[in-house]
Amino acid sequence: METVKLKGGSPLFDKIFKIAAAIAATYILALITLIVFQLITGSYQIWTQEGISFLTGSDWNAVEGSESYGAAPYIVGTFVTAGLAMLIGVPISIGIAMFLSELAPKFLRSILSFVIELLAAVPSIIYGLWGMFIFRDYIRDWIEIPLNNVFGNNVWFFSGTPFGLDIFTASVVLAIMIIPTIASISREIMIAVPNSQREAAYMLGATKWEVFKMAVIPYSKSGLVGASILGLGRAVGETMAVTMLIGNATGPNAFPSSLFSPGQTMSSIIANEFAEASQGSLHMAALIGVGLILFIVAIAINIVAQLLVSRVLKAHQGAVLA
């Protein structure tokens, strides 16, 4: 900025301002580094004590003298609930996104986008409360018990005693919670598909669905995968609703034995047991260790998702196709 210097006036303010802004931005990097560092030091004790069996073991015993910790059931529980939530949530979200981007008339479009955003704005704890006192009864009486009656004896994942607070309920509520995320990003990605693609398909004599299948889906596939993975990241890290609905089993019992058995996820075991763990104890180190695993899983999922989504949306902005 030559002119600035020529006009006099101290460039010092400029410098200070730039440095302040740079510090604020760097704070973000510092935080992430610190979080990693603290989680590692905070859980150091459990890694030296249990070693690899903290990842593979399933015992969870906090009684002093016979302490033993293995996080495997919670890791599995996290993936099972998040996976189920994806299985339910992704198709519905893509359907909603398709409706919003391809089918809905204008007035419905804005109303529905608003509803979807409200769904995203409802705090997790309220989903938990609703799941615990309202949804639980419905899902138990209308879905779980009938499924159990029909398939319970033959298909293992429908066996057990439906109780309403179990892996299935937690997964369904989790699915409801990730739908807004996946649906709204997918909608953006579908809108980013150039109209010329749709027109090409229409010109060949395609129906709406065929246009979608032929022009929209292939063009936006990687972005839709990214949106879904972003939803997976949310599902993996989600705490309160799951904690309130999953039934909270510990130890080997927490391995999912059927959809209708109580389980536990990484985040729910931390939320549930934190109050019982005394500071500096091995129990606390174990919970922080679970936090570290959760962190690594969530970050890995997220980085993949960010790369996929941003690449697609960027390609749209530059009107270049990768």
The interface with another protein within residues 32-71 (CB under 8 A) comprises: 32, 34-35, 38-39, 41-42
- Contact between 189 and another protein per CB under 8 A: no
- Look up residue 231 and give its two tokens: 């939803």
- Contact between 276 and another protein per CB under 8 A: no
Which one of 106, 107, 154, 318 is in contact with another protein (CB under 8 A)?
Answer: 106
Which one of 58, 81, 169, 181 is in contact with another protein (CB under 8 A)?
Answer: 181
Stretch that binds another protein, among 55-63, 139-147, 201-209, 249-257 (CB under 8 A): 201-209
- Cα–Cα dist 180/119, whole Å: 6
- Contact between 73 and another protein per CB under 8 A: no
- Contact between 294 and another protein per CB under 8 A: yes
- Contact between 113 and another protein per CB under 8 A: yes
- Cα–Cα dist 120/95, whole Å: 17
β-pair partners for 69: 60
- Of 123 and 146, nearer to another protein (C-beta) is 123
- Contact between 188 and another protein per CB under 8 A: yes
- Contact between 318 and another protein per CB under 8 A: no
Read off the amino acid at residue 8.
Answer: G
- Contact between 278 and another protein per CB under 8 A: no
Chain CA centroid to CA 208, Å:
31
Considering the complex, what minimum distance in angstroms separates the CB of residue 61 from another protein?
A: 22
Mark out the alpha helices in 51-157 (DSSP H runs): 53-56, 72-98, 106-121, 124-130, 136-138, 145-151
Helix axes 282-317, 167-191, angle to 10 degrees: 20
Q: Work out the number of other CB atoms within 10 angstroms of the CB of residue 106.
A: 7
- Cα–Cα dist 190/212, whole Å: 9
How many residues are given for the chain?
322
Question: What Å distances lie between residue 107 and 112, 114, 170, CA to CA?
Answer: 9, 11, 34
- Contact between 254 and another protein per CB under 8 A: no
Which one of 60, 74, 127, 157 is in contact with another protein (CB under 8 A)?
Answer: 127
- Contact between 317 and another protein per CB under 8 A: no
Considering the complex, what minimum distance in angstroms separates the CB of residue 158 from another protein?
A: 21
Binding mask 134-153 for another protein (x = CB under 8 A): xx------------------
Read off the amino acid at residue 33.
Answer: T
